[in-house]
Amino acid sequence: MKTSENMPAFKFMESFWLDWMSKDPASTSWNWKADAKQRGDNGKKDNLQDWNHDEFVLYLATVVSKAKSDWGIKFTFVEPFNEPSETWWEFPGKQEGCHFSVDTQQTILPLLRKQLDALELQDVAIATSDENSATEALHTLESMSSNADVMGSFEKVNTHGYQGLEAYRGPDRGGLKDLTNKLTKSLWDSEYGEKDATGLTMAESIGLDINEMGVAGFVYWQALDSGGWGLIQSNPGDKWIGTPNPKYYVMAQYSRHIRSGMQILASDDAKTVLGYDSAKKLLVVVTVNMGDAQTVTFDLASFAAVAGPINAWTTETSGKGALYKASTVKPSGKSFSAAFPAGSVMTFEIEGVTLAA
């Protein structure tokens, strides 16, 4: 195996740099690849030898099976690719990776489904293809959509929320949402990250992904990472963990209040996320103010009943104000107003809310 001098030491692992606990390998094993490297000589060409397709899917299914039988870990999904269409997986590099053409992806997906079934893992679904952006995910899905065998092999579409290393701001959120709905597939933003430590960019992205792309899941890249990339500052290579960025508390506005099983309601503001718990009659509103301090009024006239009370939490992303301040807001009939600090994220939990029939 040829090793890259640029690969950080903490990424070196037993068994050819592969994390055998992972359901989402960034690369296949080096000895199955065309050039015996974790990144290929030509990032535009398939780098998994075609005679090793069966070996690759057997490896994936075996890890999932062993995790279930020996470790008591049950995977819900297995994803065989990571940004497969990208052309930057070339030797040498700092991250393992492997280019797969769309045609090769379409070959591997049914093979993986067959191998999972052979190991009695019918309850484990497949996700694909973790492309770098919604634009690339849409292109890949469009290319696959006419192949019935491929469409029948997977249940979830994963996309990453990047354009390179920047947050995705392209035009194809709506197109990807429409196509996944048409194909009756669920959709996740399975990897998102950027260097804005304030969390404002992330908050805007969460709103856009949920409201315009219709994602059922939003996954942050690494909770612990250096600079603004981490929710908490950390240098993995130095084994150092520092203080939380404001971004950590911004994420908490969403993850602590919009809970699993809640219904996501349509919002007329792409940056405002609405979650509803019908059992508790609880409406959750999470929204971001990207600009100067202002007072915002929320109109809840479309709901059948709004009783209150209203509890609120505020994160000021400058790092100089409240990071997670709790307060209450007084309702006025079916509306309420709140004062937003500059560059802030606020959550409102409104009790006694009933949806209109």
Name the pLDDT band for 319 (thresholds 50, 70, 90): confident
Residue 242's pLDDT band, with cuts at 50, 70 and 90, is: very high
3 state SS for the chain: CECCCCCCHHHCCCCCCCCCCCCCCCCCCHHHECCCECCECCCCCCCECHHHHHHHHHHHHHHHHHHHHHCCCCCCEECCCCCCCCCCCECCCCCCCCCCCHHHHHHHHHHHHHHHHHCCCCCCEEEEEEECCHHHHHHHHHHHCCCHHHHCCCCEEEEECEECCEECCCCCHHHHHHHHHHCCCEEEEEEECCCCCCCHHHHHHHHHHHHHCCCCEEEECCCEECHHHCCEEEEHHHCEEEEECHHHHHHHHHHCCCCCCCEEECCCCCCEEEEEECCCCEEEEEEEECCCCEEEEEECCCCCEECCCEEEEEEECCCCCCCCEEEEECCECCEEEEEECCCEEEEEEECCEECCC
Q: Which residues contact 82 (CB under 8 A, 6 or more apart)?
A: 24, 25, 26, 27, 97, 98, 130
Do 187 and 269 lie in one domain? The reply is no
- Does the pLDDT of residue 312 top 60, yes or no? yes
* Structural domain boundaries enclosing 324: 265-354
Which structure tokens are listed for 90? 């070339």
Same domain? 145 vs 27 = yes
Task: Specify whether 70 is located in the same domain as 187.
Answer: yes
153 plus 39 within the same structural domain:
yes
Q: With respect to residue 247, please indicate whether it lies within any of the assigned structural domains.
A: no
pTM of the model: 0.89
Q: Are 140 and 109 in contact (CB under 8 A)?
A: no
293 in a domain, yes or no? yes
Domain boundary pick from 167, 192, 217: 192
Check if the beta carbon of residue 343 is closer than 8 Å to that of residue 318.
Answer: yes
Band of residue 28 on the pLDDT scale cut at 50, 70, 90: low
pLDDT at position 357: 87
Dihedral class, residue 148 (left if φ above 0, else alpha if ψ from -120 to 50, else beta): alpha
pLDDT of amino acid 39: 45
Q: Please say if the pLDDT value at position 124 is more than 90.
A: yes
Q: Is residue 221 part of a domain?
A: no
- For residue 280, the domain's CATH number is 2.60.40.1180
Over residues 35-44, the pLDDT tens digits come to 544 445 678 8
Residue 177 lies in a domain: yes
Residues 164 and 281 in one domain: no
pLDDT value at 22 more than 70: no
Has residue 250 been placed in a domain? Answer: no
Q: pLDDT for 170-182, tens place per residue?
A: 999 999 999 999 9
Residue 352 confidence (pLDDT) above 80: yes
Give the pLDDT confidence score for residue 96 in this predicted structure. Answer: 80
Task: State pLDDT tens for residues 131-158.
Answer: 999 999 999 999 999 999 999 999 999 9
The total of structural domains in the chain comes to: 2
What b-and-e string marks burial along 25-44, b requiring 16 or more CB atoms within 10 Å of the CB? bbbbbbebbbeebbbbeebe
Do 27 and 159 have their domain in common? yes
Are 31 and 158 members of one domain? yes
Residue 23 has pLDDT above 90, yes or no: no
Residue 238 lies in a domain: no
The residues annotated with a catalytic role in the active site are 83, 191
